[in-house]
Each structure stands twice: as structure tokens, then as C-alpha cells.
A and B are shown apart, each in its own frame.
Chain A
């Protein structure tokens, strides 16, 4: 893809170059199986510090599983994981995790501000309540994601996009060096998507590493500059353009290239049309 292609002028034009030699995430030969099924097979991921990285792959490829192994939530059968060059347990305080919305109890009686403040609980001792300073920091984080006026809204009354932004604010308030997000833009309205991407980009420009499991291949080059392709095995990793130019997409998705367009664009088309089983309106009987 040439440098003048509009698509290549997205995030790639603005982000800093990743610092060579230091890895935000490094996994060595991570393998995990559920009974007879392989979930992850010899995955050696090396995400550089300062990357704006996307982790993509077909459904069931193990992306969420890999995130969980990286965070130490799931034990790998074999292999090692280093976060910010340290063991997971030592590095956790510098990692902000933004999970999928479905993993959480949205019926819990709390408002947006309460949830964001929860990000600061690890520093509270026994018998200690969060004070004015914690609440101020939480309000600040909500403001960053554009939700200052919704601070007191019960979380059950928030839209999917708003919930996602609350989660991001909860991570923001901890000021981590590495952000791990699991499908942060899935099922999210346009305004929320814009707000989330803006925040992530600003963070990345400030030197933070962002790694997101991303569901939408169409927006890859617009938001990210580094890519890892996973389908149980790591099919490719590296700067977005390099991976796109290789055959990694074909191997990960099993898709054939279309003439004149990069492999991954045709894969994106396939993904979009995959669930459209209905015939065109014109073809329906009168």
C-alpha cells in the first residue's frame, strides 16, 4: 500500500515509533488446551513498548484466552509470560485491564462514578473508605472519556458504549503503563467509539502501550499501527503494513486474495457479508 493511500494515513501517521528492544508483552511458547482442543499453540508474542497494537483473528481463535493468560487469569500448560519485562504478579499494578462488558454484573447497585472509583480500591487499607481525592480522580477520568455529566447515572441505565467508557475510565484512573482491552469497540455506538479511540490514541501518543483485541478488520489501519494475527497459532506479528503485506491474513482466516486489493481488505469484506444470508430485496418474490 503506498504512503499516499488514504487508508494508510490513519493512525500510522500520528503515533510514535515503538521503542526497539523493550517489550510490553512477551510470551514464549505459550500453549493451552481444553481437553482435546487446542486453545493456544506455541504462541510467542512480542509486543513492543509504546505500540498501538491490535490482536485479531477469527472467532474461537483464542484471543480472549491469550489476554487471560497474559494477565495470569488462566494458567498456561507451558510457556512463560513477561509483562513490562517482569513477572505477571509484579507488573499487575502497572497494567490496566478493560474486559468485555458481558463479564460483569450490571445489576449491581452503583453509579458510573462508583465503578470508576473501584479502580483505586487496591490502595485502600482495611476500614478505609475512598475520600475526596479518590472521587476527584474518578471524576477526572470520567471527564476524559466524555462522561462527566453521567457520573451519577446507575450503571444498569447506561448504554453499551457508555458502559465501555466507564470501564476505560476505571483503567485510566490507575494510570497504568500498559492497557489491555478485550473488544473495546464491539457493540458500541459511534460517539462512544470515537471517544474511546481518541482517548486510546492520546494515551499512546503519551508513551503508553495499548493492546486491544479488535473485532472489526475494516477499522484496523485507521486505529492501530501494530498487529498480531492469531488463530490458535500466531500467524504473524509486527507493524501493521508489514503484516498486511505478508500472507499472514490468508493463513489466519483461510481467505483467498481478491485482485488489486490487499488480502486483508477482502477478508474484511468477507467478514462483513458473512452473516448476510438474506437475498437482495429485488430477488424476493413479489
Chain B
């Protein structure tokens, strides 16, 4: 075994990547099936101001705080987009684009402010644009591990309702499900999926890591459960591969590498999978 694989930094990076890739890929299943790929893109870009504010609150790098900020602004952007799309003549995509553009612009502004402060360099704020695997700390693994457990655990608890809401919302509501609660839950799950990988993949490209594994998995299976875990596995593998290449090549940002690996898997899936697939069901 090559010695670099035993380097503690490399192990940290690989573990972190595996965790976030698993969560992002698996949760991405619901996003893709519910046609919410572009909301993920909006939330990801909108996370930037949240990350900056998370730093500004304490003046030093605190991943939990920065990711929490990311979730807040990401969800705020989704909510604002929802509100806007209710106005006459404003379609959903224009609303999402507005949210995306404005929140990201605010993020850029906040970033320029934060970069004047001492400690900004150490916080590695810039790395949140394109991601930097090598910036992963051992302490980050704890956070990533917890988030993964909680997120995947929560989803498995509400699995039946989530599945029903994804495929047959009217039936689910008729059967007594509270549509708003479940939709809110699934949107929150998407926010988590997007935010968890921000440091390693960056705001600009993270949404692709949420979408690609699920799209690839979809080509091979029609079972929701299988798709969920397969997407998680593909996400983890893509993230680990991309992260390792990036960690070992100084000057190459992680985000693009991870996304290219995941996209390659999608291409393979499209080419090699059976022509016709059944509707996704149990």
C-alpha cells in the first residue's frame, strides 16, 4: 500500500469526503425525484452569506457555526423564492434565479468585508467557493459524522411518509399526512445535503454532487431504497476520489474534481444501463 494513504491528513480527508458524499448523494435521491435539483443550486449559492456571517460572529473558523449559517441563508433563499413565485407573472425558475443571484451577491459582499479581518485567512473563507479538501480538520469529522447520522436517521424514521409524498402527494394527504410538515422536512433534508459538503466542494458546485449520484443510481434501479443507498455509495466514492486527487495536487480545487468524477459515473450509467426502466416504486 502506498505510504501516502496512511498519512493522517489523507485519512481525514478521505473519511470526511466519504461522509459528506454519502449524505449528499443519498438525500439527493429525494431532491431529484421531486424535481428539486435547481432549488439545491439556489440553496448552495445562497449559503455563501451564511458562511461569511458564521465567521463574522466569532472572528475565527468554526465549522459548525459557518455551516449553521449556511443552512439558515440557504433555507431563507428557498423561502424567499417560494414567496416570489406566488406573485403574478413570476415563474418558479425566475424566483429561484432571483434568490440565487441576490443571496450570492450578498455573500460576495460579506466575503469582501470578512477578508479584511484578522483570522480570515485562517478561516479559509475563500475555500468555500470551490472547495478545498485539504482544509478538513480532524475536529470537522465529528461534525460531519454527527450530521450524517442524524440526517440519515431522520430520513429512515419518516421513510414511509417521505416515499408517499414523493410519488403520490394527493394520496398521502388523503391518507392523513400533513403535506406541509413533510415538504418542510424534505426541504430541510436537502439543505443539509447541500451544506454538509460546502467546505470540500464549494458553493458553486455542491448542488451537482447532490444531483449526479441520484441520477446515476436511477439508471440502474427502480426501487427507492436501492436508489437511496446506491446514490449514497456513488456520492461517497466520487467525493473520496476527487478529494484525494485534490489533496495530493496542490493548487487544484476539490469541487471541480469531485463533480467531474460524479459526472463520469453518470455518463457510464447512461451508456451501460438497460434501455427501459420501470417507474420508480417501492
Contact = CB atoms under 8 A, between A and B. Distances in A.
Interface string A150-170: 000010100000000000000
Interface string B75-105: 0000000000000111100000000000000
Contacts of B89: 107-109, 154, 156
A107 B88 CA distance: 7
B219 to A, nearest CB: 19
Contacts of B88: 107, 154, 156
Contacts of B90: 107
Contacts of B91: 107
Nearest to B91: A107
A280 B91 CA distance: 42
A107 B84 CA distance: 14
A156 B88 CA distance: 8
Interface in A99-136: 107-109
Contacts of A109: 89
A35 to B, nearest CB: 9
A27 B145 CA distance: 67
A179 B90 CA distance: 33
Contacts of A107: 88-91
B91 to A, nearest CB: 6
A108 B89 CA distance: 7
A63 B90 CA distance: 33
A141 B155 CA distance: 58
A263 to B, nearest CB: 36
A109 B91 CA distance: 12
A2 B88 CA distance: 53
Contacts of A154: 88-89
Nearest to B276: A35
Nearest to B90: A107
Contacts of A156: 88-89
Interface in B88-144: 88-91
A156 B87 CA distance: 12
The residue in A107, A108, A109, A154 that gathers the most chain B C-beta atoms within 10 A of its C-beta is: A107
Nearest to A109: B89
Nearest to A106: B89
A108 B90 CA distance: 9
A151 to B, nearest CB: 19
A88 B91 CA distance: 35
Nearest to B88: A156
Contacts of A108: 89
The residue in B88, B89, B90, B91 that gathers the most chain A C-beta atoms within 10 A of its C-beta is: B89
A262 B89 CA distance: 48
A154 B91 CA distance: 16
B256 to A, nearest CB: 36
A200 B89 CA distance: 31
A110 to B, nearest CB: 10
Interface string A66-82: 00000000000000000
A273 to B, nearest CB: 23
Nearest to A35: B276
A108 B91 CA distance: 10
A162 to B, nearest CB: 16
Nearest to A110: B89
A154 B88 CA distance: 10
A154 B89 CA distance: 10
A156 B89 CA distance: 7
B95 to A, nearest CB: 12
A109 B87 CA distance: 13
Nearest to A107: B89
Nearest to A157: B88
A65 B88 CA distance: 32
B123 to A, nearest CB: 43
A109 B90 CA distance: 10
A109 B94 CA distance: 14
Nearest to B89: A107
A156 B90 CA distance: 11
A155 to B, nearest CB: 10
A195 to B, nearest CB: 26
Interface in B45-99: 88-91
Interface of A: 107-109, 154, 156
Given A107-B90, A108-B89, A154-B88, 7 more contacts: A107-B88, A107-B89, A107-B91, A109-B89, A154-B89, A156-B88, A156-B89
Closest 6 CB pairs of A and B: A107-B89, A107-B91, A156-B88, A109-B89, A156-B89, A107-B90
10 contacts: A107-B88, A107-B89, A107-B90, A107-B91, A108-B89, A109-B89, A154-B88, A154-B89, A156-B88, A156-B89
Interface of B: 88-91
